[in-house]
Amino acid sequence: MKRSGLSLIFAVLGGLVLLFILAPLVGIFLKTTPVQFFETVQDKGVTSSILLTLLVSLCTTVFFAFGAIPLAYLLARRSFKGKNLVQSLIDLPIVIPHSAAGIALLGLVSRDSLLGKAASSIGIDFVGHPLGIGLAMAFVSLPFLIQSARNGFEQVPVRLEKAAMNLGASGWRTFRTISLPLAKRSIISGLVMMFSRGLSEFGAVVIIAYYPMVTPVLIWDRFNAFGLKYARPVAAVFILVCLIFFVVLRILANKTADDQNRKHI
């Protein structure tokens, strides 16, 4: 088969996949009237829910990155007993039902658990609190950051790190000036994916914190209470917000990575 023929077949098959992704999204906007859209944008319940979702997902991503990135580096650079088990455990939240993830987390942070009691002693209750929402988001989204960062560190030549340490650089300085900058593109991509995945989480969040409502829970609540007509505009607004944030973050991530690469050329 000629290359042009193969490319045509691949283009058709790829186009069908893209159509499958786009059709439901386009349908939501076509079936949402401008009046419904702008009424939803002015709905304080919707706007506060979207702001809560964005803020909690962003804070969760930043907070857990301080542990996830070092873990990714260890997985990329060290061999140890049980490494395959650790990697499987990291991927587990992706494959288990998220309702099951929520129940597992609830057992960890409920008021009668050790962690829940310790938090209650200082006035914190994870259940029905943004902190609980953040934990649920982190549980299902951390694998994306860890695996992306690990892939980035694996692509950094070990000889560069060894050369830096042979010249007297400490382990921390080598990590900060060699490993981290060279793996930056993958790390930023993982951060974007973790943030984006946190925005969309429903199953684990709804079990930990029905209130305050993040937007995925609000959409489900309005669909349950009032039907498709009232849930669709909220979904349309949230999809648009997510799309804008995702595109902007991708552009900034690629620009940052390209600037970094120019510095190393």
Contact 201, 216 (CB under 8 A): yes
- Residue 82 CA to residue 99 CA, distance in Å, equals 28
* pLDDT score recorded for residue 249: 80
Q: Is 232 contained in some domain?
A: no
Tokens in use for 199? 């925005």
* pLDDT score recorded for residue 190: 93
Tokens in use for 129? 């609190």
Radius of gyration of the chain (CA): 22
* pLDDT score recorded for residue 142: 95
Q: Is 58 contained in some domain?
A: yes
Domains contained in the chain, number = 1
Q: Is 202 contained in some domain?
A: yes
pTM value > 0.85: yes
- Residue 127 CA to residue 111 CA, distance in Å, equals 8
* pLDDT score recorded for residue 261: 58
**Where residue 174 sits, what CATH number does that domain have?**
1.10.3720.10
Residue pointed to by tokens 């060894």: 162
Q: Which residues form the domain of 178?
A: 50-212
Q: Is 191 contained in some domain?
A: yes
Contact partners, residue 170, CB within 8 Å, separation at least 6: none
Neighbours of 132 (CB within 10 A): 26
Q: Name the CA dihedral angle for 176, 179, 181, 186, rounded to a multiple of 10 degrees.
A: -130
Q: What is the pLDDT along the chain (265 residues), one digit of tens a residue?
A: 556 778 889 999 999 999 999 999 999 999 999 999 999 999 999 999 999 999 999 999 999 999 999 999 999 998 888 888 999 999 999 889 989 999 999 999 988 888 888 888 888 889 989 999 999 999 999 999 999 999 999 999 999 988 988 888 888 899 999 999 999 989 998 999 999 999 999 999 999 999 999 999 999 999 999 999 999 999 999 999 988 888 888 787 777 666 655 655 5
* pLDDT score recorded for residue 260: 58
* pLDDT score recorded for residue 264: 52
